[in-house]
Amino acid sequence: MSERISTIRVQWIHTLQAFLITLSALAPQTYAGTTPAYATHGMVVSQSGYASQAGVKILQEGGTAVDAAVTTAFVLAVTHPSAGNIGGGGFLIYRPSTGSPVAYDFREKAPAAAHEKMWLDKNGKYDKQKHHYSHLAVGVPGTVAGLHLAWKQNGKLPWARLVQPAIDLARDGFPVSHGLARDLQSRLKRFQPYAATMAQFTNAGKPYQPGESLKQTDLAATLTRIAESGPAGFYQGKTAELIVAEMAANGGIITRDDLANYSAVQRKPIIGSYRGYDIISMPPPSSGGVTLVQMLNILEGYDLRQSQFGSAETMHLMAESMRRAYRNRALHLGDPEANPEMPIARLTSQGYALELRESIVSEKATPSSLKGFEWPHESDETTHLSVVDAERNAVSLTYTLENSYGSGIVVTGAGFLLNNEMGDFNPAPGLTTEAGLIGTHPNLTQPGKRMLSSMTPTIVAKDGKLVMATGSPGGRTIINTVLQTIVNVVDHRMNAQEAVDAGRFHHQWFPDRIQYEGQRFSPDTLQLLKGYKHTLREIDRQGSAHIIVVDRERNVLEGGVDHRRPDTAAVGY
Ligand code: DON
């Protein structure tokens, strides 16, 4: 592991040396280690060094945080294909240094022919394969529309300039890192049924070796159409034709109209308050903001600084907050257009937090109460990026294909992967089983509906000034990872890197257990938690947070990159 990271570091040092030569005054630097990355003017933190670097170049050319986020996201679609995407969807929170914050929703939508029983076979039995791994599992993609909408409202540089770095990398290729080579190799079996996927992600049928160049010429052509025509280069014309042909030939249901009718939406963020800090996060169709604010509201009643990071008391109180907020997530949240009655104001109110807090017993786990009720599988491949520019405008963006490499289906002739986001809808009405299915109404499949998400891009501010941009992949664990980065900074006063490195844990109501990162918590703490009657489960790792924290005393940006996954980079200038 450490050998791999140092190889990556060396790789990046070489790339950066080349980059530094091209810049005279404001030279970017890449950082790694337990101290955070520092930057004076602007910074981009993402899962790919190419992406962070391209984003910072945009900042240096006078682009806004949104401009840089757009470039970073397009480059991720080339260099981090497991989650970076143009065939998926996501969410973006933008907080300008003056004015109101805004949320952009570019979550995928169900095609018009979708319906709530489409995941049942002719005998009425739930068909998991169809729901998660088929052309039917593909939602109408939102990324291109969402990035364009955010840019139209907040960008400064020309759109085509922002897409160009991704085109160059797709057309000319880039050396495959050790991490990417290993990842691609591990997915070979999933790629095998799809000729276009095999052509794109193998070297003539053989796994790519580290250092070999990955060229994606069809993707470069699609990105060029997007650069030239904006969303029309994706949702209409040749790209749309290729998507529709891919669907028609393989039992998919996305039509030309579904694509033409897709639009991204600007929404009002969920705004909470935690110990005097403003919490600005994503509203439904993400469950992230509502759930995060509920947990922080509960935790505000306890002195976590005093009970300290990693103590049994702190972990117990946090796990109990998670349990309660995740229960409400399951019961109440879904697409806002399809569920106009969601009790969001109540769920995020202080009064309700007080009620929930009163039900928490010290040193004693509250058993989760719905018998036999478990969560369905949710994948953990998504990616997050944070950007802050010289004016302290900030972007927090999380987007996904759902599973790693989404559906595994590359659109023939168009060179990009399609999501399998329809799997985030509940399987069927009333189908809540001990095997782990949820059939609650708010998140059932309906035409044109957006599926519930856990993605939680979040920005924290205080007294009108930016404090932090945070977010992470990790399926349902995302909300808890984001919670912990915030508590680590606000309560435990960690710097950005410490806040990312610190051990993570997760409770989601059902299954009724705390899962925690092994080797990162003291055995004494774990023993105490068992004594409180918590069930514990050790896991390897949780999430991959990319955060930026403003050190307000020195007016310096701190970047925290997550070394739980390879190839990450904070680049600042
Ligand atoms: O939207 C969601 O919540 C899921 N589709 C996200 C999947 C995910 O985070 C995978 N991440 N690593």
Ligand 1 atom 5: the closest Cα is on which residue?
Answer: 402
Pocket test for ligand 1, best of 286, 291, 379 (most atoms within 8 A of CB): 379
Structure confidence at residue 566 as a pLDDT band (50, 70, 90): very high
pLDDT, tens digit, for every residue of 492-503?
A: 999 999 999 999
Predicted local distance difference test score (pLDDT) of residue 379: 54
Structure confidence at residue 510 as a pLDDT band (50, 70, 90): confident
Q: Which helix (H) or strand (E) holds 103?
A: strand 102-106
Rounded to an integer, the average pLDDT of 300-305 is 97
List of domains in the chain: 42-173+215-268+376-503+541-572 (3.60.20.40)
Atom of ligand 1 nearest to the CA of 478: 9
pLDDT, tens digit, for every residue of 91-122?
A: 999 999 999 999 999 999 999 999 999 999 99
pLDDT, tens digit, for every residue of 398-415?
A: 999 999 999 999 999 999
pLDDT, tens digit, for every residue of 42-90?
A: 999 999 999 999 999 999 999 999 999 999 999 999 999 999 999 999 9
Establish whether 314 is a catalytic residue: no
Question: Beta-carbon neighbour count of residue 332 at 10 Å?
Answer: 21
Q: Which residues line ligand 1 at a C-beta cut-off of 6 Å?
A: 378-382, 400, 402, 421, 424, 453-455, 473-475, 478
Ligand 1 atom 1: the closest Cα is on which residue?
Answer: 453
pLDDT, tens digit, for every residue of 131-165?
A: 999 999 999 999 999 999 999 999 999 999 999 99
Residue type, 537: R
Distance 61 CA to ligand 1 centre (A): 33
Distance 306 CA to ligand 1 centre (A): 33
- Of 382, 398, 432, 470, catalytic: 382
| Residue 192 DSSP label | T
Pocket test for ligand 1, best of 455, 479, 541 (most atoms within 8 A of CB): 455
Residues 6+ apart with CB under 8 A from 65: 42, 59, 94, 154, 387, 388, 389, 393, 394, 395
| Coil/strand/helix, residue 56 | helix
pLDDT, tens digit, for every residue of 519-548?
A: 999 999 999 999 999 999 999 999 999 999
Q: What is the pTM of this model?
A: 0.93
Task: Please report, rounded to a whole number, the percentage of residues in the chain having pLDDT higher than 70.
Answer: 90
Pocket test for ligand 1, best of 382, 418, 506, 541 (most atoms within 8 A of CB): 382
Cα–Cα distance for residue pair 42/62, rounded to 1 Å: 11
* H helices present in 268-413, as ranges: 288-299, 304-307, 312-332, 344-347, 350-358
Rounded to an integer, the average pLDDT of 224-233 is 98
Residue whose tokens read 């109110």: 349
Distance of CA 376 to the CA centre of its chain: 19
Residue type, 14: H
The answer on pLDDT for 221 being more than 90 is yes
